[in-house]
Structures are given as structure tokens and as C-alpha cells.
Amino acid sequence: MSLLFEDVYSMCAWMVDEFASAELRAAWLPRLATMERLASYCLTEPGAGSDAGSLTTSARRDGEHFVLNGSKAFISGGGETDVYVVMCRTGQPGPRGVSCLLVENGTPGLSFGKKERKMGWNAQPTRAVIFEDCRVPVTNLVGAEGQGFSIAMKGLNGGRINIASCSLGAAQASLELARDHVLVRKQFGQRLADMQHTQFSLARAATDLVAARMMVRNAAAALQTNHPDTVALCSMAKLFATDRCFEIVNSALQLFGGYGYLKDYGVEQYLRDIRVHQILEGTNQVMQLLIARRVLGE
């Protein structure tokens, strides 16, 4: 399994463990923990991305079932995973009307769009997830009705750390590839590694990488201990790590010259894969809004 998909999978398993009933935990966690079964996180919609509280996928109570209608967009693992953690509207407009349901693959009324053709992240499929009078047992409700938005946002704190960590991995690998390249590549009669500009580029990249790693670890510790600044710290780590690590990978590709643009060398894939990290789990613009709220005391 790719680390990219592991982010989504671990978020779902955590939400089930933290908020689901004892029956749902018993039914799903043993198989999720062993990866016998996989899960997808369904929040984003065609008309509700950063403004997740405006989602319109609805779940209407009908006896012992919810009748689910709507669609989700950009769902990692869509069509391939075994269960879908779906944020849907069961009540009033806004975040307080959102609930969370577990929908098993194969449920009548559940279908999927075409596999998206993406710039990167090709290690996992991405599809729309579609609900048409999809009947889901009331017992598949995760948490209480109206708690879904809170569950989704708490899951995203961990997701932001996961995405930031994936960025660290791409940046570390790219830096090592660039180092090995400049030690042997010669131009103008000397190794690239002997040129001061190359040395400065590597020094700046290494420094940014260490700083990003420390921020991610600090945010992870805050999440683990329920620190009151967890949301801001996770947002800071995601913002800083994904921005700085993208620059590290981009600089590493530049040190390869034209070779960096070839698929024979791994750095171009890191660049394509890492770009979406500045969008996933809340865009980096949304991260700045969350951080600003904490700074302003709101």
C-alpha cells in the first residue's frame, strides 16, 4: 500500500475506533487493523471543498435505515475499498447538521465514477462516490447525529500530520538523490558539488527539512496529548512542511538539470506526487485561516 493512501486509511480507522459504537468497532477494527479490509474518507463534494460545512449529501431517516443521496468527489480508493466513512447532512444547514455513516461497498444504491486521470498520486485510484437511495442501517451511524462535522475535523488533524510526513519522505529522498548526483556530475571542469551555489542549495534544503520535521513531530505530540493548540499546531506543520518540502524537491530536480525531468530518475515523480499535499486535508490557504484564528484568539 502506498504511503499516500495510508493517510486516508489511518484517518478512517482512527475515527471508527474513537467514535463508533462497540458493535461497529468489533465488526470493523480487527479487519482494518490487519488491512484485511480498507476504508475511504468521504467528505469533499463537487460543490463543497474547503467549505466542508456546506455539504449537501443527505441522509433521511426511514425506520431503521438512513436513505443516502448525493455524491462525493476526489475519494481516494473509491471503488476499491471495503467501507466508506461518509459525512452527510441529517439535519439543519451548516456544520451542526452533519452526521457520519459507515457505508459498506456493495450496498445497493452505492456506485462510483470513472477513475480520475491525475498529475500524480497514481499509486491509488481516485473516483467519485455516488449515493442513489442508498439504504444504510441506523446502527452504522458513527457518533451521534449532528456530530459528523466535529468527527471529520478531528480526523483531519491527524490527516494533516500524515500528509506533512509524506512530504518529509519525498523531500528526504529527493535531497539524497540530488546529493549523489552532484557528487559525480561534472560541468565546467569540476563537480557540481564543488560549486558554492550547489552547496548553498543543499544547505538550505537540509535546514528546511530539519525544521519541517521538528514541526511535524511537535504537532504529533500535541495531538497525542490533546494540547489546546492542537488544531493550530497541526495546521502550522502541514502548511510549513508541505510548502518547504515542495521547494526542496523542486530544487533537487533543478540540480539534476535536464535529467531531473526524465522519468528514468525518481525525482520527477516525487515532484508530481508532492504537489497535491498543498491541497489535501485542507488547502494551505485554509491552514493559514485556522492559524490566524488562534493568533487572534478567536
> Catalytic: which of 116, 176, 281, 298?
281
Distance CA 265, CA 268 (A): 7
Q: Which three cell numbers stand for residue 283?
A: 488547502
Dihedral sign for Cα 172, 5, 124, 118, please.
negative
6 in catalytic set: no
Q: 58 has which bridge partners?
A: 69, 89
DSSP string, the chain: --HHHHHHHHHHHHHHHHHS-HHHHHHHHHHHHTTSS-EEEE--BTTBSS-GGG---EEEEETTEEEEEEEEEEEETTTTSSEEEEEEE-SSSSGGGEEEEEEETT-TTEEE-PPP--SS-TTS-EEEEEEEEEEEEGGGEESSTT-HHHHHHHHHHHHHHHHHHHHHHHHHHHHHHHHHHHHH-EETTEEGGGSHHHHHHHHHHHHHHHHHHHHHHHHHHHHHTT-TTHHHHHHHHHHHHHHHHHHHHHHHHHHTGGGGGSTTSTHHHHHHHHHGGGTTTS-HHHHHHHHHHHHHT-
Q: Which residues form the catalytic set?
A: 281
